[in-house]
């Protein structure tokens, strides 16, 4: 299982998380799909739920992880965002202890 899939599954299991949405908004996903189709002539690429981007800068390795979630209303949204970010840092730290982690958690929907 890829790191993205592990993060997706772990985030879905957290208290207060109702769903994990595609990492990009629908309009951006559509634009990317169209670009892929035009550039390569192939069918659309799968749209990811979690996006991990690695960067090297000044001798440090940074992994940026982006996830968009919907809450179920059982836990305050700020607490869920902190919990998701902490879980991402923990999981990536276990798999890649030499990397710094930047977790971007977007709350796309708040449950009632």
Q: Would you kindly state where each structural domain of the chain is located, as residue ranges?
A: 3-109
Instruction: Assign 94 a pLDDT band (cuts: 50, 70, 90).
Output: very high
Q: pTM of the predicted model, to two decimals?
A: 0.80
DSSP secondary-structure letter at 33? Answer: H
- Beta strands 60-71 and 17-21 are antiparallel
Provide the token pair at 106: 């977007």
Provide the token pair at 38: 């035009």
Topology given in CATH for the domain delimited by 3-109? GMP Synthetase; Chain A, domain 3 (3.30.300)
- Whole-number Å distance between alpha carbons of 20 and 60: 30
44-91 tens-digit pLDDT:
566 788 989 999 878 889 999 999 999 999 999 999 999 999 999 999
- Whole-number Å distance between alpha carbons of 36 and 27: 14
């Amino acid at each position: 299982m890829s790191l993205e899939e592990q993060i997706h599954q772990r985030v879905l299991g957290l208290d207060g998380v109702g769903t994990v949405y595609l990492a990009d908004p629908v309009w951006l996903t559509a634009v990317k799909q169209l670009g892929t189709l035009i550039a390569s002539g192939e069918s659309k690429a799968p749209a990811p739920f979690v996006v991990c981007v690695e960067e090297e800068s000044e001798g440090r390795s940074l992994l940026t992880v982006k996830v968009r979630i919907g809450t179920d209303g059982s836990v305050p949204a700020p607490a869920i965002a902190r919990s998701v970010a902490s879980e991402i840092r923990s999981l990536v730290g276990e798999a890649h202890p030499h990397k710094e982690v930047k977790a971007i958690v977007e709350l796309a929907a708040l449950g009632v």
